[in-house]
Amino acid sequence: MRKYNVVGVMSGTSMDGLDIAHVTLEEKEPGKWEYSINAGITVAYEEKWRLRLSKLRHQNSMVFHKTDRYYGQFIGEQVNTFLKDNNLEAELIASHGHTVFHQPENNVTVQIGDGNSITAMTGLPVVTNFRAIDVVLGGEGAPLVGIADKYLFGEYTMCLNLGGFANISAEVNSERIAYDVCPCNIVLNRIAREFDQEYDVDGEIAERGSIDYDLLGDLNDVEYYSYAPPKSLGREWISSNFWGNVRNSEAHKEDKMRTLVDHIAQQIGNNIEDLTNGEPAGKRVYITGGGAFNKSLISHIESHTDAEIVVPNENEVNYKEALAFALLGVLRVENKTNVLSAATGASKDSVSGSLYGDFSKLV
């Protein structure tokens, strides 16, 4: 068993930026990994990248493929700068890429960030394309971080990530299940932009508003919440199944924000209770992702569950998903299962990820 120095790269649906983390991973015993996050950075997207990524699903095939290639070069350039600035070396890059299409019901999930370009720019071996095999096997292709939660954070009852979507994972009947709970920052940030803010700092906008119970009822009645896991959400789903309720509401903007925050917290609270069969004792929920900094959202979550809410240090909040994909990359290199069918609904577990570059020094 050896140590790996890995760069994990993640771009979420909320498009806050490109998360890059240098991590060290070591398996101490089967299924028990130790980690350290040695450095991390979030590279905020310039407006040209934000627009290009947000509109890419509507572009022609030539624009799509050019963007895939250029975005891979962009990732490589940012990794090079990050390693140089922090005087670090790495053996492997594990890049999630940026999701453009996620329609598992149509056997489609696409993340851009060309692995050939990343390895050409950095000279390092690269693992990308973590979701595709699972979708072909009939799975949701998401969430994928369940195995990292199991191997790295098994001491907690469950792990909750508050990113573009809120997703949760927990051990149930000796299996790690994971799924998307509801939209999160992807919808909160839409309201924040109406106030000329990228996001609601500390939940201040939400705290100025009041809950609109008509809107809250409409949101809580969304059909997705009646589905049993495994299940996942994508940007397309927001437009067709969720955002119309918010757009058509006559509530003030602050009230929409407060209502969305309470809606997210209610759905999370419901799922915590469902996953633990309502047992009150000893539940500990480990929360990461950008939403962990939203004081209003955390307060509302605490009001909707009796579980202990654990928000770790800032490095883990910011880079836990990049850390998770670093681990998925290492497992792929070791030819070990890194995607769990219990979490995604696929016909079987899989060893997932496409390999680019020279892996001779890693195997």
3-state secondary structure of 263: helix
Return the CATH number of 146-316, one of 3.30.420.40, 3.20.20.70, 1.20.840.10, 3.30.360.10: 3.30.420.40
Q: Which region, left, alpha or beta, applies to residue 180 given φ > 0 means left and ψ of -120 to 50 means alpha?
A: beta
Q: Cis bond leading into 30, ω under 30°?
A: no
DSSP category for residue 153: -
Rounded to 5°, the CA angle 313-315-319 comes to 130
Helix axes of 115-122 and 61-85: crossing angle, nearest 10 degrees? 30
pTM of this structure: 0.90
pLDDT at 31: 81
**128 sits in which H/E element:** strand 126-128
Place of tokens 């999160």: 184
Per-residue CA distances from 317 to 187, 218, 292, 294, 325 (Å): 20, 31, 7, 12, 15
Q: How far is Cα 164 from Cα 14, in angstroms, rounded to an integer?
A: 5
Domain(s) of CATH 3.30.420.40: residues in the chain: 3-140+325-356, 146-316
Q: Which region, left, alpha or beta, applies to residue 41 given φ > 0 means left and ψ of -120 to 50 means alpha?
A: beta
pLDDT at 280: 61
Rounded to 5°, the CA angle 97-101-105 comes to 125
pLDDT at 257: 98
Residues with pLDDT less than 70, the chain: 1, 278, 280-281
pLDDT at 267: 98
pLDDT at 320: 95
Give the fold, CATH level 3, of 3-140+325-356.
Nucleotidyltransferase; domain 5 (3.30.420)
Structure tokens, 59: 């572009």
How many helices (H) and strands (E) the chain has is answered by 14, 12
Do the Cβ atoms of 363 and 48 come closer than 8 Å?
Answer: no
Do the Cβ atoms of 331 and 30 come closer than 8 Å?
Answer: no
Q: How far is Cα 144 from Cα 141, in angstroms, rounded to an integer?
A: 7
pLDDT at 234: 87
pLDDT at 289: 92
3-state secondary structure of 192: helix
Instruction: Give the residue ranges of DSSP H helices in the chain.
Output: 47-55, 61-85, 115-122, 132-136, 146-152, 185-193, 204-208, 213-220, 235-237, 243-248, 253-275, 295-303, 314-333, 341-344
- Tell me, rounded to whole angstroms, the distance of Cα 319 from its chain centroid: 10
Of 304, 218, 204, 295, the residue nearest 253 (C-alpha) = 204
Burial label for 39, CB within 10 Å (0-12, 13-18, 19+), is middle
